[in-house]
Amino acid sequence: MKSLDGNAVRTQRTRQRILARALELFNEQGEANVATGAIAASLGISPGNLYYHFRRKDAIVAELFHRFEQRIDVEPAPASSPAAAIEDLWLYLHLMLEAIWEFRFLYRGLDDLVERDRKLRESFNRIAQHKLDAVTRLCEGLVRSGAMRASREEIRALSRNVLVVATYWLSFQALRRRPGPIEDGLGHGAYQVMALVAPFLVGEAREHLDELSRAYID
Amino acid sequence: MKSLDGNAVRTQRTRQRILARALELFNEQGEANVATGAIAASLGISPGNLYYHFRRKDAIVAELFHRFEQRIDVEPAPASSPAAAIEDLWLYLHLMLEAIWEFRFLYRGLDDLVERDRKLRESFNRIAQHKLDAVTRLCEGLVRSGAMRASREEIRALSRNVLVVATYWLSFQALRRRPGPIEDGLGHGAYQVMALVAPFLVGEAREHLDELSRAYID
């Protein structure tokens, strides 16, 4: 790593501040309703300074999407026991919903964003395919360890439903505008996704999930 | 019903044409990207004529939403047997997805629409609550007739998941831009929702669903 002089450090810091503020404003007001000028004004920097870092708003969106993609690209590790696998899955869902919440502006205007930008559509589809594959592998692992009973076709349909519910749960809650802190929303989302998986679990894994769910319901 | 003179009939016809064309354009381009002027131009009528019928675009959106609400407000009738109940449910889901498809612009910009219009949010929530109640009642009926085994809490979580998957399935497919005619998308959506219900079915109902699903998969 080459050492940075004072100017380069300042430049980097400004870039980071632009991205952080853009994310805040996009989440609050929707990406379509926030102009680059408003981001610059909100940071107290000149439009020219912002332009030096990002020529177009699309470049800011692309960089934020890239961060989202890195953020959501985690996978549950192979677990030592069925009960551990269930706990890992629950945690994994929580992290995934947290990432969606943190970058919720992407989901809010998703149709328009991918309509405008072919690369974003491809990125989104790459994420979706990764997630589908990850959930499918996870289920196959549970079947092999005897913790799940499900056919190939059931796992395919289940994986798709896991992805749809995880992707849209927070949007659905926002529409219904349920009161309560966001942590509750994330927990509820994870619970809803686990409810998709539950009927296919047997033995220890099922018992463990029921316990975790009871703790959630109470 | 009072008889209408020629002028009144023409006025009614123009109103209907405006609504039909607005729906087309909103679905194709997104409601936010279609101005009332474009609707008038596309029909070959003057902006003043359109203004006579609808003072603001919001009035067109509200009327279309009202039609959507009537369209989607169907419920599966109590069925004579578990197998009949499953067929009715499948058909019901198909009709629901068809209505969502027909008014897909509402779902595309839903967050922004309900943000802008408190009444639309209330209407949307009324529809969502009706659907949740209808699915819950349907499941309770299946439990009573011995076609389903599920606890109260399982039915609650299941009903929410049915609603989320039915609501967002077509959006999810559009994002992934799966090739194929829309009928396939609707059929696949109904199949995905039935896959949520399937694990809780027993006996004749379960067998009948498996048969219907096999026909779908092949």
CATH number at residue A12: 1.10.10.60
My answer on whether A149 and A188 are in the same domain is: yes
Does the residue A1 lie in any domain? no
Q: pLDDT at residue A194 above 60? A: yes
Q: pLDDT at residue A2 above 80? A: no
In sequence order, what are the residues at sequence separation of 6 or more whose Cβ sits closer than 8 angstroms to the Cβ of residue B139?
B148, B150, B155, B158, B159, B197, B200
Instruction: Give yes or no for B121 touching A (CB within 8 A).
Output: yes
pLDDT tens digits, A115-145: 888 888 888 899 999 999 989 998 998 999 8
pLDDT tens digits, A62-93: 999 999 999 888 777 777 788 888 888 888 88
Instruction: Check if the beta carbon of residue B58 is closer than 8 Å to that of residue B117.
Output: yes
Tell me if A217 and B172 make a contact (CB, 8 A cut-off). Answer: no
The confidence band for B17, taking pLDDT boundaries of 50, 70 and 90, is very high
My answer on whether B120 and B45 are in the same domain is: no
The predicted structure's pLDDT at residue A91: 86
Distance from CA of B2 to the nearest CA of A (A): 41
The confidence band for A109, taking pLDDT boundaries of 50, 70 and 90, is confident
My answer on whether A73 and A154 are in the same domain is: yes
Instruction: Check if the beta carbon of residue B165 is closer than 8 Å to that of residue A164.
Output: yes
My answer on whether A152 and A195 are in the same domain is: yes
In chain A, which residues have their Cβ closer than 8 Å to the Cβ of B200?
199
The predicted structure's pLDDT at residue B1: 52
Least confident of A85-94, B99-108, B124-133: A85-94
Chain A residue closest in CA terms to B109: A109
The confidence band for A218, taking pLDDT boundaries of 50, 70 and 90, is low
My answer on whether A17 and A124 are in the same domain is: no
CB atoms within 10 A of CB B132: 16
The amino acid at A147:
A
Provide the phi-psi class of A203: left if phi over 0, else alpha when psi is between -120 and 50, else beta. left
> Do the interacting molecules here have an ipTM over 0.95?
no
- Residue of B176, B177, B194, B210 to mutate, testing the A interface (most A Cβ within 10 Å of its Cβ): B176
pLDDT tens digits, A145-167: 899 999 999 999 999 999 999 99
Nearest-CB residue to B168 (from A30, A32, A164) = A164
Tell me if B160 and A217 make a contact (CB, 8 A cut-off). Answer: no
The predicted structure's pLDDT at residue A75: 77
> For a pLDDT cut of 90, what percent of chain B falls above it?
49
The predicted structure's pLDDT at residue A217: 72
My answer on whether A10 and A74 are in the same domain is: no
Does the residue B86 lie in any domain? yes
Does the residue B203 lie in any domain? yes
CA distance B83 to B77: 13
The predicted structure's pLDDT at residue B176: 82
Tell me the average pLDDT of chain B: 88
Query: Which two structure tokens, joined as six digits, stand for B33?
Result: 């990207």
In chain A, which residues have their Cβ closer than 8 Å to the Cβ of B100?
none
Q: pLDDT at residue B158 above 80? A: yes
Does the residue A151 lie in any domain? yes
The predicted structure's pLDDT at residue A196: 96
My answer on whether A40 and A143 are in the same domain is: no
My answer on whether A72 and A100 are in the same domain is: yes
Q: pLDDT at residue A55 above 90? A: yes
CA distance B34 to B31: 5
The confidence band for B179, taking pLDDT boundaries of 50, 70 and 90, is low
Tell me if B158 and A191 make a contact (CB, 8 A cut-off). Answer: no
CATH number at residue A152: 1.10.357.10
How many contacts does A have with B, using Cβ atoms within 8 A? 101
Instruction: Tell the burial category of A191 from Cβ atoms under 10 Å away from its Cβ (0-12, 13-18, 19+).
Output: buried
Residue A180 vs residue B62, higher pLDDT: B62
My answer on whether B112 and B74 are in the same domain is: yes
My answer on whether B98 and B191 are in the same domain is: yes
Distance from CA of A88 to the nearest CA of B (A): 21
Nearest-CB residue to A124 (from B32, B160, B175) = B175
Structural domain total, chain A? 2
Does the residue B1 lie in any domain? no
My answer on whether A11 and A79 are in the same domain is: no
Instruction: Give yes or no for B53 touching A (CB within 8 A).
Output: no
Q: pLDDT at residue B15 above 90? A: yes
Does the residue A60 lie in any domain? no
In sequence order, what are the residues at sequence separation of 6 or more whose Cβ sits closer than 8 angstroms to the Cβ of residue B70?
none
Can you list the alpha helix ranges (DSSP code H) found in chain A? 6-29, 36-43, 47-53, 57-72, 82-102, 104-108, 110-116, 118-144, 152-176, 182-197, 203-217
> For a pLDDT cut of 90, what percent of chain A falls above it?
50
Can you list the alpha helix ranges (DSSP code H) found in chain B? 6-29, 36-43, 47-53, 57-72, 82-102, 104-108, 110-116, 118-144, 152-176, 182-197, 203-217
The confidence band for A10, taking pLDDT boundaries of 50, 70 and 90, is confident
My answer on whether B199 and B164 are in the same domain is: yes
Residues spanned by the domain of B34 = 6-55
Mean pLDDT of B173-202: 85
- Residue of A122, A155, A164, A206 to mutate, testing the B interface (most B Cβ within 10 Å of its Cβ): A164
- Residue of A65, A161, A209, A211 to mutate, testing the B interface (most B Cβ within 10 Å of its Cβ): A161
CA distance A38 to A21: 10
- Residue of A113, A120, A176 to mutate, testing the B interface (most B Cβ within 10 Å of its Cβ): A176
Q: pLDDT at residue B147 above 80? A: yes
Does the residue B60 lie in any domain? no
Does the residue A93 lie in any domain? yes
The confidence band for B111, taking pLDDT boundaries of 50, 70 and 90, is confident
Tell me if A111 and B174 make a contact (CB, 8 A cut-off). Answer: yes
